[in-house]
Amino acid sequence: MESKVLAQKAIQVLDQKKAKDLKLIGISDISSLADYFVLATGTSSTHVKALADEVEFQLKEAGVAPDHVEGYRSNSWILIDYSSVVVHIFTPDARKFYDLDRLWQDGTAIDVSGLLTQE
């Protein structure tokens, strides 16, 4: 699956599960880590875990398994690494503390409004 399509699918899955403050950042021009970062916030540690579980499940159903997953024990920041796309799911406090939005502000912010459900 192409990296942009994978990132968009992750955004849609997260949106369906009521993730907050969804962002997609293109980082291929500034880093060799990945092509895209997906950032999302859950409302609690339980919600963060449920979001991560659903992303993994839905993408496995689409034929894509993660290369690496970290953070399930803490449930305040779960990272799901698909090589070209890295999904970061935070609690509100962890998102504010680690502030990846600011750290990766040189990346390209990609509008995801067309991927989100209208509520």
We report the CATH number of the domain holding residue 39 as: 3.30.460.10
> The whole model's pTM is what?
0.94
113 falls within a domain: no
Q: What is the mean pLDDT of residues 91-108?
A: 95
Which residue range forms the structural domain that includes residue 44?
Answer: 3-105
pLDDT of residue 119 exceeding 60: no
Taking only the tens place, the pLDDT of each residue in 22-56 is 999 999 999 999 999 999 999 999 999 999 999 99
Q: Indicate if the alpha-carbon torsion angle 40, 42, 47, 48 is positive or negative.
A: positive
119 falls within a domain: no
Instruction: Report how far residue 78's alpha carbon sits from residue 88's, in angstroms, rounded to the nearest whole number.
Output: 6
Phi and psi at 58, nearest 5°, equal -65, -40
Identify the bridge partners of residue 38 per DSSP, sorted by sequence position: 24, 87
- Chain Cα centroid distance, residue 58: 13
100 falls within a domain: yes
What is the per-residue pLDDT for 81?
A: 97
Q: Please count the structural domains in the chain.
A: 1
